[in-house]
Chain A
Amino acid sequence: MKKDIIIAGVGGQGIVSIAAIIGYAAVEAGLFLKQSEVHGMSQRGGEVSSHFRLSDKEVASDLIPQGKADIIISVEPMEALRYLPMLAPGGWVITNSKPFINIPNYPDIDLILGEIENLPNHLAFDADNVAKELRATKSANIVLLGAASPFLDIDYVKLENAIRLIFGRKGEAVVNVNLDALKKGRDYAETYQLTASI
């Protein structure tokens, strides 16, 4: 088993949290992992990404080679496209469709979504809106992790446990809201897969 995952977004969108949750779940599953992330200046509203490598064998490189990522999870649609050179043939792109516009020259969102639509394996939806309906506006990242969860080869329960562990010190309410966000994302992906297979 080997999964190479790119987690992408804009500084402050919770990229590191997604990585931390998969990390804890992977450790519980007894897998080897390497995960590199971006700190420092680019965290100030710039483009950020994390390379996440999971395997049942020792992982060599801290960075994923180009064309080897099985999944891109992106909390922002243009950021999903930025890492396409990393994507393996047949890899999946799971992305938020809601743009985060903090630059004056952000391209036409319809063109961005059009590019995503053209990808053979993609799942794009408004995760901000899903999070809003749960009254958890900050949990769009967790919704997307939920949507990516069927592709991760990690027990769903282990992801739930990781959320309990990581958000535990923030209180039960925060834990529950994030468990709901994870579930909503998961449901979305499963419904989508069901429709796609018909």
Chain B
Amino acid sequence: MKRLLLLGDEAIAQGAIDAGLSGAYAYPGTPSTEILEYIQHSKYAKENKIHSTWSANEKTAMEAALGMSYAGKRALVCMKHVGLNVAADPFINSAITGANGGVIVASADDPSMHSSQNEQDSRFYGKFAMVPVLEPSSQQEAYDMMHYGYDISEKYQVPVLLRITTRLAHSRAGVVVREVKKQNEMELPKDSIQYVLLPSNARKRYKILLGIQPSLETESENSAYNKYFEGSDKSLGIIVSGIAYNYLMENKNENNFSFPVLKIGQYPLPLKMLEKIAGECDEILVIEEGYPMIEESLTGLLGKGLKVRGRFDGTILRYGELNPNIVASALGIKEFKPMQVPDLVVSRPPALCGGCPHIDSFKALNEALDGLSSGRSFSDIGCYTLGALPPYESINSCVDMGASITMAKGAADAGLVPSVAVIGDSTFTHSGMTALLDAVNDKSPITVLILDNETTGMTGGQFSPANGKIEFICKGLGVDERHIRVIEPLKKNHNDNVRIMKEELNYNGVSVIIPRRECVVTLAQKTKEKRKAAASK
């Protein structure tokens, strides 16, 4: 029995590899990044030619996975929760086309927004697309669910969504692994128009999706991941899902209670099990990480006399991630008073690293904008979002990948001239290119700063799909070559950089300034590796 010490993310990756994966596709995003990284570092994956390079964004990742599935092979797509918004179009439609080779979409939610702009709950996407959703409570379940997930994906010819949250993604535990399954041979769909979603065929395909719903419910009813634990104290029944199960068990181990417990790990919800717990208990407590989705399904709009406690009635806070203490308090367990944090302790927010090229870019931008009214810099998602905080306070927005350029364009359309967009290299190729095309076609008076640190920095320095291509992309999209300026963000170049920015701010059209200098973190890593390589020679 082989036991590995794995993060939740790594358990998903190992599970996929062992379940006969042929290709994994992803764009980095906390807390999902380590899934693809693990496959990239796997010797077995390399030897068996499992695809594992980064995609330009989550949509391209999802579509490539769909192509892999079309060809009959098993595919994995990984992303953070907001990445599923980007991939939503192919994701929803993949439920209509159906899968040929098994497809699992792993989406990692970030309740409490440790590293995200919202805490949306991916389970709703599963319900929306009408595909099975798996929600592991442990690293072992995450691993096992990959095997099971590919089985049901191929059995019902439907993609499967695997939903985890931050704590499971980044928590390590022992995982018992199974024997490796062989990859599928290439085999195209028997129905040559299965993937042609012309209305006439889409209607047919949609009926097929509707037709498998009762089977998916039966599958949930019989699933090893939906478990009913009998209990003698029927004054309360507890429905718990995902990692919240661990917090419940922590409290059960400490304070022996004997309420019936229904543990949910697979959706659509197992209706008979829900009927049983609601039928035999006076009251129901729902404990779920994320939005009150199960809770809402139980009560509906009218409640129908069912007494349900959870996030809606304030038993559990409406927002934020759970922990053992929140669950204890929901159970009415009296806690002793913990020690207090001394008043003098102050928070230590994340900050740009010493020597970070963005620091020089923001200093130059601030000086170049000096004299203009404030509030005209739209930005994006990456380390440079920290430029919103003191001491820089250089940017005024961060909404979604690529929104800096389009928002600057819209604001310029409204008369805010000049408008500035500040976007990173990898974010630019993720979702900024089409935005720039809109601005070029409209001759919008905007200045776009593409901060090129030659990596996807915030998630730990992954390959940037933009590497070495930015000027050519901008030129290709129609930006006037004279207004594509590459600068080096260094202290010694400060005055020149300010001058160049001012020139472009004064230009009544689309300009692109590319401050280019490598991220200090990846540079240090590379220098270290080089030194090591030299020493070993």
Is B345 in contact with chain A by the CB < 8 A criterion? yes
Task: Give the contacts of B319-361 with A (CB-CB under 8 A).
Answer: 323-325, 328, 335-336, 338-342, 344-353
CB distance from B327 to the nearest CB of A (A): 9
A-side interface residues, number (CB < 8 Å): 50
CB distance from B172 to the nearest CB of A (A): 5
Determine whether the beta carbon of B33 is less than 8 Å from that of A39: yes
Of A79, A102, A171, which contacts B351 at CB under 8 A? Answer: A102
- Chain A residues with Cβ below 8 Å from B458 are 40-41, 44
Determine whether the beta carbon of A34 is less than 8 Å from that of B171: yes
- Chain B residues with Cβ below 8 Å from A78 are 345-346, 348
Task: Give the contacts of B236-253 with A (CB-CB under 8 A).
Answer: 243, 246-247, 249-250, 252-253
- Chain B residues with Cβ below 8 Å from A108 are 344
Of A44, A112, A115, which contacts B353 at CB under 8 A? Answer: A44
Determine whether the beta carbon of A60 is less than 8 Å from that of B250: yes
Of A34, A36, A46, A106, which contacts B349 at CB under 8 A? Answer: A46
Given A63-B247, A65-B323, the answer on whether A39 and B348 have CB atoms closer than 8 Å is no
Of B253, B342, B353, which contacts A81 at CB under 8 A? Answer: B342
Determine whether the beta carbon of B30 is less than 8 Å from that of A46: no
- Chain A residues with Cβ below 8 Å from B338 are 66-67, 84-87
- Total A-B Cβ pairs within 8 A: 148
Determine whether the beta carbon of A61 is less than 8 Å from that of B246: yes
Write the chain A residue with the least CB distance to B110. Answer: A40
Given A67-B336, A81-B342, A112-B344, the answer on whether A62 and B168 have CB atoms closer than 8 Å is yes
Is A38 in contact with chain B by the CB < 8 A criterion? yes
- Chain B residues with Cβ below 8 Å from A197 are none
- Chain B residues with Cβ below 8 Å from A159 are none
Determine whether the beta carbon of B171 is less than 8 Å from that of A40: no
Determine whether the beta carbon of A23 is less than 8 Å from that of B5: yes
Of B33, B172, B324, which contacts A35 at CB under 8 A? Answer: B172
Is A59 in contact with chain B by the CB < 8 A criterion? yes
Determine whether the beta carbon of B351 is less than 8 Å from that of A23: no
- Chain B residues with Cβ below 8 Å from A46 are 348-351
Is A105 in contact with chain B by the CB < 8 A criterion? yes
Write the chain A residue with the least CB distance to B352. Answer: A44
Determine whether the beta carbon of B351 is less than 8 Å from that of A44: yes
Binary contact readout A143-179 vs B (1 if CB under 8 angstroms, 0 otherwise): 0000000000000000000000000001100000000
Determine whether the beta carbon of B325 is less than 8 Å from that of A65: yes
> In the assembly, what is the distance between CA of A89 and CA of B345, in Å?
21
Of B30, B167, B253, which contacts A62 at CB under 8 A? Answer: B167
Is B43 in contact with chain A by the CB < 8 A criterion? no
CB distance from A14 to the nearest CB of B (A): 15
Task: Give the contacts of B93-118 with A (CB-CB under 8 A).
Answer: 114-115
Write the chain B residue with the least CB distance to A12. Answer: B353
- Chain B residues with Cβ below 8 Å from A111 are 344
Determine whether the beta carbon of B344 is less than 8 Å from that of A47: no
CB distance from B37 to the nearest CB of A (A): 11
Determine whether the beta carbon of A39 is less than 8 Å from that of B174: no
Binary contact readout A10-54 vs B (1 if CB under 8 angstroms, 0 otherwise): 110000000000011001000011111111111111110001000
Which of the listed residues A35, A46, A65, A78 has the most CB atoms from chain B within 10 Å of its own CB? A65
Range for the number of chain B residues in contact with chain A:
35 or more
- Chain A residues with Cβ below 8 Å from B482 are none
> In the assembly, what is the distance between CA of A27 and CA of B171, in Å?
15
- Chain A residues with Cβ below 8 Å from B342 are 81, 84, 115
Is B535 in contact with chain A by the CB < 8 A criterion? yes
Determine whether the beta carbon of B115 is less than 8 Å from that of A62: no
CB distance from A60 to the nearest CB of B (A): 4
Determine whether the beta carbon of A40 is less than 8 Å from that of B31: yes
> In the assembly, what is the distance between CA of A62 and CA of B247, in Å?
8
Determine whether the beta carbon of A84 is less than 8 Å from that of B243: no
Is B119 in contact with chain A by the CB < 8 A criterion? no
CB distance from A61 to the nearest CB of B (A): 4
> In the assembly, what is the distance between CA of A82 and CA of B458, in Å?
25
Determine whether the beta carbon of A32 is less than 8 Å from that of B30: no
Determine whether the beta carbon of A61 is less than 8 Å from that of B247: yes
CB distance from B261 to the nearest CB of A (A): 13
Given A38-B170, A65-B324, the answer on whether A103 and B346 have CB atoms closer than 8 Å is yes
CB distance from A169 to the nearest CB of B (A): 9
Write the chain A residue with the least CB distance to B168. Answer: A62
> In the assembly, what is the distance between CA of A22 and CA of B174, in Å?
14
Determine whether the beta carbon of B351 is less than 8 Å from that of A45: yes
Determine whether the beta carbon of A171 is less than 8 Å from that of B323: no
Given A66-B335, A67-B338, A82-B345, the answer on whether A37 and B253 have CB atoms closer than 8 Å is no
CB distance from A136 to the nearest CB of B (A): 15
Determine whether the beta carbon of B328 is less than 8 Å from that of A45: no
Is B459 in contact with chain A by the CB < 8 A criterion? yes
> In the assembly, what is the distance between CA of A39 and CA of B337, in Å?
30
Determine whether the beta carbon of A47 is less than 8 Å from that of B246: no
> 5 A-B contacts, Cβ less than 8 Å apart?
A39-B170, A41-B350, A61-B249, A82-B345, A111-B344
Given contacts A40-B459, A61-B324, A171-B535, 7 further A-B contacts (CB under 8 A): A34-B171, A34-B173, A40-B30, A66-B338, A106-B346, A107-B346, A111-B344
Shortest 9 CB-CB distances between A and B: which pairs?
A: A40-B30, A40-B115, A46-B350, A61-B250, A36-B171, A60-B249, A65-B324, A62-B171, A44-B350
